[in-house]
Amino acid sequence: MSQPASIDEMAPVMGADGEFHAQDEAVDLSGTPWEGWVALTFFWVLGGVVFYQFFTRYVLNDSAAWTEEIARYLLIAVVFIGATLGVIKNNHIQVDFFYRYMPQRMGRTMALAVDVLRTAFLAAAVVLTLMMMLKLGSNSRMTMVDLPMNWVYGTCLLGFAMMAVRSAQVARRHWQRGYSVLERPMTEMTDP
């Protein structure tokens, strides 16, 4: 990622003519991880289902009953698959205030513990989700659509598994470079 431009390097917003002159930066999606595209696909399918629900309810005045349930499950898929992007970018909620006042060695130990515990939590979520899916088997079905609920739980399992793998990769990156974003918050914006 490139360094943000300073105020002096930026093009002026107000021109000499007193008009507002702003230009958008070119959009570059080449760095988007494949998990982002999967989440985007689920999102667009969700958008299509919600549009169909709106159309049948307010235009045809004959609401399709299955759309409410399917939209809920698609939203779950968007959240669990999309949360992987937060892990990849390492920008989930964190408190780095105390790291500023901790001794460096203590901060490093705590940051390492955060990486290990996050990965362990996500791996445990994979195991627990799999155990629940095995316990439910094919007996549990969706309410309106006769499909197995394990399809929904399968997307949760996939999301947890992707988050666990990506979390291990982030922990490895932090270990190799010798610090994490908790210890140096501004470095994550400039480092890949």
pLDDT digits (tens, 9 = 90+) for 145-159: 888 888 999 999 999
130/157 Cα distance (integer angstroms): 7
67/75 Cα distance (integer angstroms): 12
Which pair of tokens denotes residue 114?
């955060």
SS3 179: coil
122/128 Cα distance (integer angstroms): 10
65/52 Cα distance (integer angstroms): 11
102/109 Cα distance (integer angstroms): 11
**Quick one: pLDDT at residue 96?**
74
The owner of tokens 């940051």 is 111
The count of other CB atoms within 10 Å of the CB of residue 33 is: 14
SS3 62: coil
Contact at 8 Å (CB) between 149 and 76?
A: no
Among residues 186, 189, 185, which one has the least CA distance to residue 96?
185
Which pair of tokens denotes residue 120?
């362990």
**Quick one: pLDDT at residue 180?**
82
* Sites in the chain below the pLDDT cut of 70: 1-12, 185-192
**Quick one: pLDDT at residue 21?**
74
Contact at 8 Å (CB) between 133 and 140?
A: no
Q: What is the pLDDT of residues 128-137, one digit of tens each?
A: 999 999 998 8
Q: How far is CA 5 from CA 1, 11, 133, in A?
A: 12, 10, 50
